[in-house]
Amino acid sequence: MVLVAVTAAACGKAGRSDSPASDPDRPAVVVGPRVVLPSDTAHPDTMPAYRERMEDLKRRVSEWHGFVGAMVVFGDRKVLLSYYAPSATVRIADTTLTGAQQIANGLVDLGRRTSIREFLRAPYRVHATDSVAVDSGTYGILMQREGGPRREERGTYVTTWHRTANPQQPWVILRDVLKPDPTGKAGKPPEPQRPAKAPARGKVG
């Protein structure tokens, strides 16, 4: 019986492999995840792809602001509705409008009461995530009653956009804050191409 035990032990030793997987006494090697340095993810606005994407969104935002301004001048509530989220808010000076319908009605009423001839914006900066974008800049409103003097209002604005699942209107306004500048030094409004007629919803975005 002793001979059998010794022989079995010898055979087990001879059959043992030197590979790490077959050696229970050899420490295991664990491969951890790649270390991500702060420099790998910091400052996304310095990355060319991000900057290009923001410039493209800035151009589209400028176009949408132009349409909204034109619809205020034309008094088109239906098109204005398509640019605002159902729970959107708009604040102009000390007036706050809540909900897309109230916003559309309020902006059209404002345009008629004050005889708005132009409502222009100049986006300066745009930042965006997957579902939210924020742009800021200056705005200018030109008001003139027939035969009356020209009046201008200038100021700054911050607009928050929300991404939708609608390819015809991929972004809608969630919050819009306009602050008039009493000094009139907020900057001269831009001269964008103004639509000749109310754009169809399928033409936006």
The string of pLDDT tens digits covering residues 138-179 is 999 999 998 889 999 999 999 999 999 988 889 999 999 999
- Residue (of 137, 123, 120) closest to 70 by Cα position: 120
Angle at 154 between CA 123 and CA 174, to 5 degrees: 50
The answer to whether residue 112 is domain-embedded is yes
The answer to whether residue 13 is domain-embedded is no
Measured between alpha carbons, how far is 69 from 152 in angstroms, rounded to an integer? 15
The answer to whether residue 151 is domain-embedded is yes
Domain CATH number, residue 109 = 3.10.450.50
What's the chain's average pLDDT? 79
Max intra-chain CA distance, the chain: 123
Asked if pLDDT for residue 199 goes beyond 50, the answer is: no
Question: For position 62, what pLDDT does the model report?
Answer: 94
For the chain, how many structural domains are there in total?
1
The string of pLDDT tens digits covering residues 52-108 is 888 999 999 999 999 999 999 999 999 999 999 999 999 998 899 999 999 999 999
Q: Domain range holding 57?
A: 45-203
Question: For position 44, what pLDDT does the model report?
Answer: 52
Question: For position 104, what pLDDT does the model report?
Answer: 97
Report the percentage of the chain scoring pLDDT > 90. Answer: 54
The answer to whether residue 100 is domain-embedded is yes
Residue 120 near residue 190, CB atoms below 8 Å: yes
